Structure 1
Amino acid sequence: MKKTLFTLALLAGLTGAAQAQNVSLGLKAGATYSNFVGADAAGYKDIFGFHGGVFANIGITDMFAFQPELLYSQKGAKSPALAGGDVTRRLHYIDVPLAFHVNADGLFFEAGPQVGFLLAAQDKYNGSSTALDRSNFNTIDLGYLAGLGYQRKTGPGIGLRYNGEFTNYRQALTVGSTTFQSRIRNSAFQLYLTYSFGGR
C-alpha cells in the first residue's frame, strides 16, 4: 500500500512539475491478451483481460514526450492442468508504465520501463473461483513496454502495446536445503483507446 501511495505521489509530482510545459492528462482503457512465458511455461494458453487508468503526456520537444501512467491490469494464463477442464489463473496488478514517446504528427512509437504491484491472484476452475495467497507470488513485477499508436494532445487516440517482464511471477520455494524457482513470467499485449484533455 505504501508503494502504491508513493507511486501516486510521484505521478502527481511529475505532472505538477511540468505545468509550464506542453502537458495533457488523459484516460485509457482496453483489452489485454496475456500468457506466461519462460523456460517452465510450456502448455499455457492465452486469456483475455482488461486494463484501464490515467496518464500524463508531458511534451519535451515537438518530437519527444514522456508519459507516466497508472493502470489497473489483468494478466495471467490458462493451464490445461486437470481432466475436468482448464484452470484460469488471473493476476491483478497496479502497473506504472514510464513510456517515452517519439511523435510524428499524432503517430507515436513508445518504449520504456514498467513496474507492477500485485493486488490479488485467483484461480478459476469449473465455474468456481479461489483466491490465492499473495505470499506465494512476487508482489513487485519489473518489466518493459514497447508499442505504437495515434494520440493527439486533445481528443481520442488508439494504441497497441507489448508488456514484457524480467521478474518471475512466482516466489522461489525452498524445501530443506534446496530452492526451486519457477521460470515463468507475465507477457501481455494491450489494445486500447485513449482520450486526452488540456494539451496545447
Structure 2
Amino acid sequence: MKKVLVTIIVMVVVMAAAALGVIYGGAYDVAASTSDSPLVRWALTTTRENAVKREAQGIEVPESVHQPDQALLRRGFVHYDDMCVTCHAAPGVDPGEIRAGLNPKPPRLARRASKRSLAELFWVSKHGIRMTGMPAWGETHSDEELWAVVAFVKHLPKLSAQEYAAMREQADNAGHQHEGHAH
C-alpha cells in the first residue's frame, strides 16, 4: 500500500512539474493564427457549451422576449447591428475583418441562434466568453437592452437579406439612437 501511495505522489509531482514547464516555458502555442488540435478543440468546446448551459439555468426570460413585438426587435437590431454584426454577420451582411483573425471563429448567429436557449444567449451576451473575443456586454448595457438583443438574435434566422437591409435603412433614417451608449 505504501508503494502505491508513493507512486501516486511521484506521478502527481512529475505531472505538476511538466505542467509548470509548459506554463513557464511558453511551450504551448497561443497564437490565434494556429488552429487547435482536435482534442484541444473538443475539450474547449465541450467545456464552453456545458458551462454556458449550467450558468444559464435559473435565468428567468421576460415574457416580452418569448413573444417580442416590433419595437423590441428594432431596439435589439440597433444594438446587434452596432455591436455584433462585425463578428457574427447577418443575412446579406458579411462579417468584418475582425472575425477573420479570431480563434475560435464566432458563430454566424443567423445559422446558429436556434441552437441556444434564450437564457443561454442572455448569459453569453451579459458575461461574454473568455479567450474567444466575446465581450461581456453586461459591463456597458442594462439587462433590458441585452434582452432586446437576445430577442433579435432569436429572430435573426427568420430574416432575409432584404429584410435585414430594410431594418438597417429604417434605423439609419430614425437616427440610430443608442440610449447614451457610445458604440
Greater RCO (CA < 8 Å, at least 6 residues apart):
2
TM-score exceeds 0.5? no
The structure with the greater share of residues assigned to helix is: 2
The structure with the greater share of residues assigned to strand is: 1
TM-score under structure 2 length normalisation: 0.25
TM-score under structure 1 length normalisation: 0.24
Which one has the largest radius of gyration?
Answer: 2
